Amino acid sequence: MKQVRNTQAKTEILHLLSNASSALSHHEIQEKLNGLCNRVTTYRVLERLEKEGKIHKIVNIDGIVNYARCNHCSKEKHLHNHIHFNCEKCKEVICIENIVPEITLPENFTAHSYNFVISGICPKCAGIQ
């Protein structure tokens, strides 16, 4: 069995995503790492964490890929088919895991994953907190 390396960059990126209140873009992660690794290494670590079932990707309303920590995934079962809320004002992407849409596809179609992004204004930007 192949042993998985645990690098400082991987540990720090997973820590960032675990403690973030919203999903983070590659750029935001790179800024928070303060030069710990270059952008290519960051992409590779993010890809590896996704394959391990520890994080998932969300494409926001601007087409930017954001990353969030998975709460109930594993390498064997990587499901994150919940809703994501993208604030039009502050641009934060929030996982809303208690809402999972039910999808019915036409015959002979098979879904492997889906990405639901709802855009609007979050409570913080609406002044409702």
Please give the annotated binding residues for Zn(2+), written as ranges.
87, 90, 122, 125
Q: Which structure tokens are listed for 103?
A: 């999808």
Question: Which amino acid type is present at position 73?
Answer: C
Question: Which amino acid type is present at position 67?
Answer: Y
Which positions ≥6 away from 102 have C-beta within 8 Å? none
Alpha helices in the chain (DSSP H): 8-19, 26-32, 39-51, 123-126
Q: For 110-128, give one letter per residue: b (16+ CB within 10 A) or e.
A: eeeeeeeeeeeebeeeeee
Q: What are the beta bridge partners of residue 84?
A: 95, 117
Q: Point out the annotated binding site.
A: 87, 90, 122, 125
